[in-house]
Structure 1
């Protein structure tokens, strides 16, 4: 994505956590109790050592220490479970939000972006939020409490040894923070390379048959390998930075302990410090340094999570498909569809439509014909408002499509794409995509209308028969007819058919034409066709050439008045 991403900080994470604030408050309470209980352990340990040194009974202190350890363990287990559950909830909510946003982006955004990279944002990037919630929040909160308690106790026990400790820990912590700040851009780069790799794999798998037929397996394998290598190298760069953070923390622990043991041992030897005080100070030092190390790790995890949030919000910040700014009521007496001086070009491309004007009357069948690249399919896309016109207007029942709510507009349109996509799943699932409440009788009727009844009887599964990924278990013609059946089931007032017979043989073409004739009563149809035999009986034929309307009329009229149409008809043996 070329646009510079906006800066993401911890405030961006708050909306993801807000629905879980009750559980997080409970986790914070458990963490506070557990931390305070942990801070009591050095004091009980000192009491045990002092009692043993003075030959006094130490059983009650030992019992209290054991009980304290058990309580801390149970509190931490409950806390960690609640955090894991919350983290999964955050990931679930972020995936739902991101997927919902992706499915509502303008179609032009899909044209400009790679599917694999978008999938990576929903999968890999959202997963990084889990670590931020599980390790990040609790370690940050409990670490601050633990450090505060340890600092107070160490100052009270021995200010001199505390001062020595602070110098060593501060140096190590400052170095670690400088390293951790560099993790975020490295992590972002690694996630981008993962997106690139996912896109490459997605392309190779989608075109698997073409790849095999072209004997290009080795080239595609090399391409995937190169993308994987780039992701590997980007991951290594992030890993090298992360690898330094652990040793820095260990160095802080070791250095601090050596200093304390050296100075504390000397003070015990001269009698200015008891053995119990030294052990307690060492334990408090442990409770100081270990949370600092975890906080440093938390900072690193936050950088990883914020890098993922940046990539997620690059998508979430994209504007959704525009809806009607000033909704207008339909005009029933107006043409079903009307183009008025429409100019249109795809982003970064040459003009596709140049001043296109025509009207499709209500209840009539309008055909769009012309050479490849004349703009026929683009007209259907503009009616559906997949794209915005550059000039002019597209009207449905007298209202500019920009003044119709999307639900109203698309509720009046039935659209069958040229590729006739079939979704992975069953016959039933594909048909119910448009009308979820349709009955089995209605499903069987619409399949019969497009000559697909044999699909139901072909296997014992009937309507629950699988069609395979992308409809691979169906023939090209069957996929085309299933897509048409799915559209016919909704019974929209306007049908937009883009090359409906492109994959059909003569027999099935005749059957489909009969089905279209049967459903076209009192319904407007706009059909894009290269095969003129399917539209010779249309009420009007719009001839397009290089993005302009070259002629409008019926078949017999155009054979006389339009040289281009006559040429097309002659090539298809339809000219008399």
Structure 2
């Protein structure tokens, strides 16, 4: 019997009636947002993970019950053997039956174990698929506010706990309950009085367990949170290994991770303590039941009210209860652990995701004949818990031109790039590409039209070719060769024994800073974008490669609109337009020469980089002082 895994409910293919992207809808209509999933009871949520596999789980339960039934019959057969032996009869058939029951029970248990484990793996596979699907689509603010390692732990360790609870735990609880009920019926057949003694002992212990089991769940939740903190600490340390080593911070980082490990250890101890008490009580309950039955049953046998074979059969049932009670206790423990993990996994489902990033490539409209214009109209934006990053920003970039954004650090330049790609949404105003408000477009469409070279030029683990084709999987060999030539990576590739198949290491560690930057630029050019965003693209390039890149940008601007952020003004003096930013506002617009003449901040930036003469700068500064304009220290 098999069962098929379901497609994540959040995928576009599985949800044709999925809510429209934020901001989508008829022009002038209020943006429609998908309501967040409602939080439901953890046990109900846990059962929902098992529901798609209920047929196999039910069949598994039947096998377990069949195996348990074979065990339940064995004491009755044993009683019959003893009675026949007492009468001097032949017990051959009864012994053969007893042996057959043992073999059948073992075979059924093995088959049940295989089905159960297979279903368990299918459950965790689907849980991990669904969780990964959402994690890679989380909105940027959500990713910025949460440790990466903690999110990864939800896919790894938390899903494993849920896996055990949603399959094995449920089957064990059901098997334990049903088998105990069946044993109780047969024990009642043997002797109702002794059954009452047994139930009384077991119930008193069960009341104590109702206090202990929820504590296990709480301890597991704390332990999983601590494990997430360990993962987050390691992710931070290993992701900046050279910085850690260069600053001799191994000890501090080890201590930070050690504190998280200690938290997981302490929470694990609490859970282990409660689990130990549960095992002790379950064992004590059986021993107490055995002693009570032995005492009362022995008195009944002595009084002639109960036969010795019946007492032996009842005692065998008491011993037999050890297995279903152990199954029930272990299953309840797994359920408590799974319920602790469910909360953390379900929290991912309540995190907002970008629902509109999976548009199929075939649906993309044809490339426009001319590069699009980009316009900011009264755009404002604030990061959570901070003051405004942008204030009433307005300017227009003509299609097929170069516009440079300059200003002091923290002026809001990179924030504008983030808004343009819909990593964040403006608090006010609009951003338009080719006259269309990007808030009305799916994020997939907005990002298809834009290529972005980040300031730190991240490189993915893999080969040079993997990185080049990362955003342009269908790029031809001629396109790749051209991108390498333009960014002057062709000489590097020619020197490497494996050429484009050379591994770049984790985060591109085998490449220099300039090589990583040029690789990121080549990757962006291969996309043949309509809009090209360059954030400090020449920061780590020498003068020769900087000049080559400027030529490449000039060529790119013939077929796309270019916006670039630069602190080195030498790279933007020939830009068609320069936007001077200060404190989140547009301070001035114009060309290099005009801004040197008209804007004191730009003039000071240019003078600090020797792009204007000392006399011009000094005369202008004197004029500023006469006008009462004062500028603080400039950080470029």
> For 1:483-562, what aligned pairs fall within 5 Å after superposition?
483-562=520-599
Alignment equivalent of 1:116, drawn from 132, 145, 149: 149
Partner of 2:403: 366
Deviation at 1:76, TM superposition (A): 0.8
Give 3-state SS (helix, strand or coil) of 2:431's partner. strand
Deviation at 1:180, TM superposition (A): 0.6
Deviation at 1:439, TM superposition (A): 3.6
Contact 1:450–1:515 (CA under 8 A) maintained in structure 2: yes
Q: Comparing 265-274 with 249-258, which one deviates more in the overlay?
A: 265-274
**Cα distance in structure 2, aligned partners of 1:455 and 1:29:** 65
Give 3-state SS (helix, strand or coil) of 2:158's partner. helix
**Cα distance in structure 2, aligned partners of 1:32 and 1:293:** 15
**Cα distance in structure 1, aligned partners of 2:492 and 2:68:** 65
Alignment CA distance shift 1:476-1:184 (3 Å): same
> For 1:385-534, what aligned pairs fall within 5 Å after superposition?
385-534=422-571
Alignment CA distance shift 1:35-1:440 (3 Å): farther
> For 1:38-57, what aligned pairs fall within 5 Å after superposition?
38-57=71-90
Alignment CA distance shift 1:330-1:424 (3 Å): closer
**Cα distance in structure 2, aligned partners of 1:444 and 1:8:** 57
1:28 aligns to 2:65 (yes or no): no
Give 3-state SS (helix, strand or coil) of 2:595's partner. helix
Q: Comparing 443-452 with 106-115, which one deviates more in the overlay?
A: 443-452
Deviation by residue 1:474-501 (Cα, 9 ceiling, x = unmatched): 0001111111111111111111111110
Deviation at 1:14, TM superposition (A): 3.2
1:141 aligns to 2:178 (yes or no): no
1:241 aligns to 2:241 (yes or no): no
**Cα distance in structure 2, aligned partners of 1:101 and 1:264:** 61
1:151 aligns to 2:184 (yes or no): yes
> For 1:211-360, what aligned pairs fall within 5 Å after superposition?
211-321=244-354, 323=356, 336-360=373-397
Contact 1:330–1:398 (CA under 8 A) maintained in structure 2: no
For the aligned residue pairs, the C-alpha RMSD in angstroms reads: 2.2
Deviation at 1:35, TM superposition (A): 2.2
Contact 2:451–2:524 (CA under 8 A) maintained in structure 1: yes
Contact 1:331–1:397 (CA under 8 A) maintained in structure 2: no
Contact 2:378–2:429 (CA under 8 A) maintained in structure 1: yes
Deviation at 1:243, TM superposition (A): 1.5
- Structure 1: 5+ residue runs without aligned partners? none
1:129 aligns to 2:162 (yes or no): yes
Deviation at 1:330, TM superposition (A): 11
Partner of 2:623: none
Deviation by residue 1:379-416 (Cα, 9 ceiling, x = unmatched): 10000010111111111221222100111111111111
**Cα distance in structure 2, aligned partners of 1:8 and 1:304:** 15
Give 3-state SS (helix, strand or coil) of 1:256's partner. helix
Partner of 2:134: 101
**Cα distance in structure 2, aligned partners of 1:51 and 1:205:** 73
TM-score of the aligned structures, taking structure 2 as reference length: 0.86
Provide the aligned length of Structure 1 versus Structure 2. 571
1:206 aligns to 2:239 (yes or no): yes
**Cα distance in structure 1, aligned partners of 2:248 and 2:118:** 48
Contact 2:404–2:563 (CA under 8 A) maintained in structure 1: yes
**Cα distance in structure 2, aligned partners of 1:21 and 1:535:** 64
**Cα distance in structure 1, aligned partners of 2:367 and 2:237:** 48
Q: Comparing 260-269 with 6-15, which one deviates more in the overlay?
A: 6-15
Contact 1:128–1:305 (CA under 8 A) maintained in structure 2: yes
Deviation by residue 1:234-285 (Cα, 9 ceiling, x = unmatched): 2212221111100000010100011112222232333332232222212222
1:196 aligns to 2:229 (yes or no): yes
Alignment CA distance shift 1:94-1:147 (3 Å): same
Deviation at 1:322, TM superposition (A): 6.0
Deviation at 1:16, TM superposition (A): 2.2
Deviation by residue 1:26-57 (Cα, 9 ceiling, x = unmatched): 21232232222222211221122222222111
Contact 2:176–2:325 (CA under 8 A) maintained in structure 1: yes
Alignment CA distance shift 1:567-1:470 (3 Å): same
Contact 1:334–1:398 (CA under 8 A) maintained in structure 2: no
Contact 2:431–2:437 (CA under 8 A) maintained in structure 1: yes
Deviation at 1:317, TM superposition (A): 0.8
**Cα distance in structure 2, aligned partners of 1:66 and 1:336:** 85
1:161 aligns to 2:187 (yes or no): no
Contact 2:142–2:352 (CA under 8 A) maintained in structure 1: no
Deviation at 1:7, TM superposition (A): 5.5
**Cα distance in structure 2, aligned partners of 1:545 and 1:37:** 82
Give 3-state SS (helix, strand or coil) of 2:377's partner. strand
Alignment CA distance shift 1:331-1:424 (3 Å): closer
Alignment equivalent of 1:179, drawn from 208, 212, 231: 212
